[in-house]
Amino acid sequence: MISVLLIRKMAGLIEIALSPSILVYLLLIYLISNAVSFVLNTLRPRAFPPGPKPTLGVGNLLQLDRAFPFLTFGSWAKEYGVDTPLGIKRGAANVVVLNSGRLVHELFEKRGAVYADRPWIYMNTWVFQHDLRPALFYNSSAYHTRWRREFNNNFGPTVITRLRPVFEAEAARLLVKLIESPGARGQQFEDMLVCWMISVSSLGVCGRRPDCMGDHGFSIKHFTSCNEAYAALLAPSAKDLLPFLRYLPNFLGMSEWKKKALDVRKGVIAVGDQFLSAAREQRAALDEGKPIAWESVLARMLREKREKGETMFTERDMGNAAFHIVATSTSAPIAYFQTMLMTLAKFPEVQKRIRDEALTVSGGAVPMATDIPQMKYLEAVWNEVHRWRPVAPQAVPHVPTQDDVYNGYQIPKGTTVIMNAWQIHHNEDDYEDPDKFDPDRYLRHPLGMRTDKAHDPAVMEAWGARPHYDFGAGRRICPGMYLAKQNFLLGLAKMLWAFEIHSADNKEIDLSVETGLVQGTALHPKDFDLTLKLREGRTKEDIMNHYYQTYEGEAEIMGWKNGEFR
């Protein structure tokens, strides 16, 4: 009798398990458990760094300034302590904000091995999948370490001196484009700047100028569009905050973002292949014994792969590396240079002072790369623009690879750790009148700080303080900062030798954070509209002659003959 009842109960359970309704129940249980887990995770972890009280279900999201969250972080820092990590909840995600250079040094520098990772962004899995490894966002690994070594071997401070003729010629070529397009404004002016900015990196990675690669299918306009589409995917999205959105079917466009990500992937691969194609051409020329002094990054990788059986980098890795190296020469750099030019138009006395210094150092001739180290005011302006209006006010976040404890505060593994460069640069305790644009602060103090006992330069430099934090910090600091500095300062010095920079139509230039700036991939001027006027005493012939002279040096190391690419 008992066995019959048991069989009947089991049969009933099997019937329920096989019924369509059980699937609905299981789905409901899954959704409810995930919802409960998500809501509970929006609460602050135990011993988390101090911060504002989160709202159940959303954390501190509704309290942040949507356009400029770094301003909100700064206001909270004043309440909870500038030198204390700030703990907030972005939905269910843990976020810690560092609002002082001291904290950056303690965590990103002293504990660099722990804080060397990047946040995991779900959207990137659809772009990179298993065969693309982006150095900027790739997790800490042997591959990333090797990649940075390869980059520094070709673009580090001790190597870029070999590329001086390229810097010289490409900056002079920019002057030619500007003189041949008088009245260029807005997008046309920006396009010229972009071509100049990516020329050095393009020549470095594959041996060809970006606007001379049409035979390899490359187009600057397409590359820029592809890079912008890729950058748009990098911001944390709802899919990172609400995981269930990842599994929605493509109904009424709910999963259209997946298609967009795959389209971006195709674009990244295609552009990478174009760089690799140009590099193969240089590799073949080198193998034939042609006199080319500069073996590009990809050409050398191809040689090592052939001769040494190098397996660390696949050919797809090589193309992807080229895409990212050149891409880093666009969005943030163009934003910075736009801000620099707008600043000089806003403060003509600063512009004149740079020009006077350049002419004094060069003896009235066109400024050259060897003159730049002697131009102290120019470097002060470089630092002050980075401090005053940083293009990366929150930098690129770091992530600890293990649970960490700082001053008794728990920072769990996987926490997004943000360096609030804006607050660091505008801290009244460190900078006198920080909202004022004042390059002279870097002539009074090597770090631009207050000239009091508390900010003694020797003491500040001993704990690792920097002139600015616009290039990041720690093991993930931007490896291209030396290349960018050399290129920008030389280009600016030559530009001011030839031209005066004015606001278009004598409009008032607004660079205030409230109304004059826009936060996209980088913080940049809302309205970039300037005009250039050839300086009195300068002629088109002066500019053309300077370019022809610098071209000869560039042609020699790139192996160009008979005016090729001139």
Chain centroid to CA 386: 13
CA pair distance 170, 487, nearest whole angstrom: 9
CA pair distance 254, 243, nearest whole angstrom: 14
What string of DSSP letters covers 388-417?
HS-S-TT-S-BB-SS-EEETTEEE-TT-EE
Cα distances (Å, whole numbers) of residue 521 to 229, 251, 341: 11, 30, 19
With CA atoms as reference, report the closest residue to 551 among 175, 156, 60, 51: 175
Pairing of strands 409-411, 416-419: unpaired
Bridge partner list, 94: 89
Burial 43-68 (b: 16+ CB within 10 A, else e): bbeeebbebbebeeebbbbebbeeeb
**SS3 label, residue 59:** strand
CA pair distance 171, 8, nearest whole angstrom: 87
Cβ 445 vs Cβ 457: under 8 Å: yes
Classify residue 171 by burial, with Cβ atoms within 10 Å: 0-12, 13-18, 19+. buried
In the chain, what is the greatest distance between 2 CA atoms, to the nearest angstrom?
114
With CA atoms as reference, report the closest residue to 451 among 103, 350, 105, 443: 443
Q: Supply 148's token pair.
A: 């940075």
Bridge partner list, 416: 95
Cβ 417 vs Cβ 107: under 8 Å: yes
195 is in an annotated binding site: no
With CA atoms as reference, report the closest residue to 550 among 484, 473, 490, 478: 490
Q: Where are the beta strands (DSSP E) in 420-552?
A: 499-503, 517-519, 523-525, 530-534
CA pair distance 340, 109, nearest whole angstrom: 29
Which residues make Cβ contacts (< 8 Å) with residue 468, sequence separation at least 6?
A: 383, 386, 387, 390, 421, 425, 448
CA 358, 364, 366, 372 torsion-angle sign: negative
With CA atoms as reference, report the closest residue to 476 among 124, 159, 107, 86: 107
With CA atoms as reference, report the closest residue to 486 among 150, 154, 159, 164: 164
**Binding-site residues, please?**
478
Instruction: Enumerate the known binding-site residues for heme.
Output: 478
